[in-house]
Chain A
Amino acid sequence: MNSRTMWLLGAGLLCLAGAVFATETNPAGVNPNPVQLRRPPVAPLSAMAQLGKEIFYDASLSSSGKLSCASCHSPDHAYGPPNDGPVMLGGADLSRQGARAVPSLTYLDRHPNFSIGPDKGDDDNIVDLAQMAAIGRQAARTTKTAGYTGASANIVPQGGLFWDGRADTLQDQALFPLLDPNEMDGGSAEIVADKLRRAPYAGRFVELFGAGVLRNQRLLIAEAMFAVARYQVEEPSFHPYTSKYDYWLEGKARLSESELRGLQAFNDPDKANCAGCHTSAPTRDGLPPLFTDHQYEALGAPRNAALAGNRDPGYFDLGVCGPQRTDIAEQTQYCGMFLTPTLRNTATRHAFFHNGVFSTLQQVMDFYNFRDTNPDKVFPRAADGTVLKYDDLPAKYHANVDVTDPPFDRHLGDEPAMTEQDEADIIAFLKTLTDGYKVEN
């Protein structure tokens, strides 16, 4: 048994202790096995990061002159969307819907590149995506349960940025919204490069990369996007690890009884099993948990009628296999799969899942709890009264949906995995993942 499993068992036992024996010798709610967390090094922003910061907040790069990176990735909202709707609006007159809910830019500092698992070894022996996908078709899939490491051996997509992993690095990622006509609508590489050359910070490029950088459009844009990425890597507010849960892990904060029960249910393979994908244990190197295994899942979330694109009944957002991502469209076993996001700061959000179909954590918990046992609580009904399960996926891809990892291994009419109290407790626990907790002395 590896140390990660041991740790989870420990946490589980602790939760039991906290819930049942509230008057133990240990002060209630304190982690009896505190760990030392290794947070990213903090230093003054480098010249590169300072340049990136200027670009991150530069609205002149958008066609409207009103949108910067920070407009949708708001520093006051964990670098997520500041609005209440499912998506943000962009384009020249700020009237066009973005295709998907805006992900948070926090906690991407340890995000791996896109790959089709298991972990790649030496980079001298590269197996291409199609080859890995072919192997994956033949391999038996391990059920993912909290506390077990079988998941990492699964040959499934993992890593990469955006809901479909189409960008490998923060540098690559930054250019997409800048050029997307529904977002910043920057026009073209030529227009963006021209604005960069005339920007008040243009001198920084010369200083950092030499005079030639302004003449080389490709290099100029690449370096500008690198600078944006570097800002996100260096600026501590993108990965503060200052949640109540972080401090609890370190033995510096107490969880309430409800939060502790929530943590237990979160980690319990027979209940919510959230930690099966949203990893909750620190790594063996003492790195704080990211609450994602960076893998992709088809969960079959309901269609969101509020999205303009969905008025076309023939339009489906299939995630990894398209239409935004185009390089592995032929791997139809991945149709409907989207990246598992971090749950850090999730309680500050108002748009959940790739299509923003849910606006509260309660709705999200109900989806997990009732999708299979009581689908009528989650999905709409057709005119004839039948429940339209997985109505945001074409029927031919319904088989891609995860029906093995708990709690999705239930069947129609089964007892739901969670009680109302479990759901409330888990939501209470999720709120401990919000940064900015002040430790009492």
Chain B
Amino acid sequence: MKSKVLTTAAIFVAASALACTLPVLADDFGRDRDHGHDRDEHHRHPHDIHTETPIKHLVIIFNENRSFDHYFATYPNAANPSGSIPFVPKPHTPKVNNLANANLLVNNPNSNPANGTGATDPFRLDRTQANTRSQNHSYTPEQQAVDNGKEDLFPKYTGRGTAGGAGAFGTNGQVMGYFDGNTVTALWNYAQHFAMSDNNWTDTFGPSTPGVLEVVAAQTNGVQNVVGTSSSIADGQGGLTLIGDTDPGHDACSSITSTMLMGGKNIGDLLTDEHVSWGSFMGGFDLTLKNANGTTGCARSTFSSNVNSTVTDYIPHHAFFQYHASTANPTHARPSSIHAIGHTHDLNGKVDPANHNYDLEDLYAAIKAGNFPAVSYVKMPAYQDGHAGNSDPLDEQAGNVELINFLQRQPEWRETAVIITYDDSDGWYDHQYVAPKNASYDATADQINGAGLCGLGPNKQPAPKGLSGQPVNGRCGPGTRVPLIVVSPYAKTNYVSHAYTTQASVVRFIEDNWLHGKRLGGGAFDAGAGSIMDLFDFDHDHSHDLRADALFLDPTSGTVMTSPPDEHHHH
């Protein structure tokens, strides 16, 4: 690592300086540790755990189903039609690899006749068109749309016209639609103030569950069917690789006809081994809560006026850690106390029933109680997860901004990083091609470079080794380019990283920061994943400008607020 790393002592200096200028925060900073000196190593405070960088708290907001071009096609220039929420770019915003700069807004290869009635150039989606249809984001059609690098068959293979609510362009050409800063205003503002990647990818093609497995386990090989069959294919070595969505086995809210579990390990296992606090925080996970509309249990739901329907909060096939028995909480058991959150054992040394799996409400509560875990994976309730069909960019924005505003108000913010990234592209058009780095040769599923081909052929480019150490099929990748934004006092300012990264790069960052670079093994992609360190600047002295390190946004409009918003009020 090239960056100089701040020592713990330096952080204390910063904290003391702050305590003098902002007395209201002084006591908060050590609020959980005031009575923590007599605790054993099972409850180490994240601030006291050695880290490679000054980041002591990482929050990964794992949103759903947007490609990079779909959100940043014209960044940083929005259309700003009259009556819109205008977006004015900062001077010297770096160029990003998008449709505008690639000169693909007109004469786009997807206007070719092979796309039939869906043939079209890319077109702008207005803020009033936030509620679109979900596109086809299956493993094989996404490869077919890429068309051996020509990137010209999106309407034909992944396009779907809007058949619901409000929406533009009722043909498969809708897949060519993109939003701009008049709609995804908050993300554009975060990118302007912090750092963004324009070269971040899903590790494989396909939908949510492969994506969620990559960001925690960097591995989709090793499927074990529990009930019925799963959305997997034979890996060529007698095992199975997941290429579609399947619910986790034994989860109280899962399908009763199809579930599976995964072999191998995930990052939670490694963090537990080192007594680093971590948790999964998902909207709808707490089955004991009752929503305003009276729903409870697995059926908790929330009405969205943008999507114009009532959406079930918890989606089992997005549950980060429920696929590995070692990190699962299949009954959604509650933590024994707010202080047990993030920890394997409660304060009395007993194994905590929640096993690191909680509700998003628990993250807010734990942080308020001074118990902010080191690593937090967040999934918004479904209406705010960004997935077209059950969510939309405006509800997504509201959920993300509310959480980030809240985090920025905490004393721990100065050593916190938030990563906003995505499980898959939804099939939305993105123009960039990368030749497969992870080959796969399933005769029907793989199509990117020809029938049965993802890569140069089994001899020239063997498939990567899977869980058992043999080359396995079903992991064709990288898949699709998706946004990745880092919001942190240590993020570079108005910076665009072109370093190649994937979902497994998140796993690698955690390993590098907390685990001395330990890797999962078993053919997991973290071993070869790119580094996201390029988005950070750890040399920058942050002791004097803490105010500038926060960017409070309006959750509805995504525009910059001059004063911090009110506290979070939920359940």
Residues of A within 8 A of B (CB): 3, 38, 40-41, 44-50, 109-110, 113, 123-124, 168-172, 204, 207-210, 212-213, 216, 218-219, 222-223, 226, 229-230, 233-234, 283-287
Contacts and interface: CB of A to CB of B under 8 A. Distances in A.
A3 B292 CA distance: 13
A233 B163 contact: no
Interface of B: 79, 81-84, 105-106, 117, 120-121, 123-124, 126-129, 133-134, 138, 162-171, 173, 207, 244-245, 292-295, 303, 305, 308, 310, 389
Given A110-B308, A210-B79, A213-B123, 5 more contacts: A168-B164, A218-B171, A284-B294, A284-B295, A285-B303
A169 B170 contact: yes
Nearest to A285: B303
Contact of B121 (A50, A208, A216, A229): A216
B105 A212 contact: yes
Contact of A212 (B117, B121, B166): B121
- Residue among A49, A213, A284 with the most chain B CB within 10 A? A284
Contacts of A170: 166
A190 to B, nearest CB: 15
Nearest to B231: A124
B295 A219 contact: no
A169 B134 contact: no
B83 A46 contact: yes
Contact of B168 (A47, A222, A233, A284): A222
Given A208-B81, A210-B79, A229-B166, A41 B126 contact: no
Nearest to A232: B166
Contacts of B303: 38, 285, 287
Contact of B163 (A44, A124, A169): A169
B134 A123 contact: yes
Main secondary structure of the interface of B (DSSP, over half): loop
Contacts of B126: 46-48, 208-209
B245 A233 contact: no
Contact of A169 (B127, B162, B171): B162
B499 to A, nearest CB: 31
A169 B124 contact: no
Contacts of B245: 124
Contacts of A123: 133-134, 389
Given A209-B123, A219-B173, A226 B168 contact: yes
Contacts of B138: 124
B164 to A, nearest CB: 6
A230 B128 contact: yes
A121 B269 CA distance: 34
A212 B104 CA distance: 12
B168 A124 contact: no
A171 B293 contact: no
B134 A207 contact: no
Contacts of B389: 123
Contacts of A218: 117, 120, 169, 171, 173
Nearest to A48: B128
B21 to A, nearest CB: 40
- Residue among A38, A41, A222 with the most chain B CB within 10 A? A222
A40 B305 contact: yes
Nearest to B108: A212
A3 B129 CA distance: 34
A253 B190 CA distance: 48
Contacts of B134: 123
A41 B306 CA distance: 10
Contact of B293 (A222, A226, A285): A285
Contacts of B295: 284
A172 B168 contact: no
A313 to B, nearest CB: 37
A29 to B, nearest CB: 27
9 contacts: A46-B84, A47-B126, A48-B126, A123-B133, A169-B163, A207-B79, A207-B81, A210-B124, A216-B120
A286 B293 CA distance: 8
A349 to B, nearest CB: 26
B177 to A, nearest CB: 10
B166 A169 contact: yes
Contacts of B81: 47, 204, 207-208
B308 A109 contact: yes
A169 B171 CA distance: 13
B83 A47 contact: yes
Contacts of B167: 169, 171, 226
B163 A223 contact: no
B123 A172 contact: no
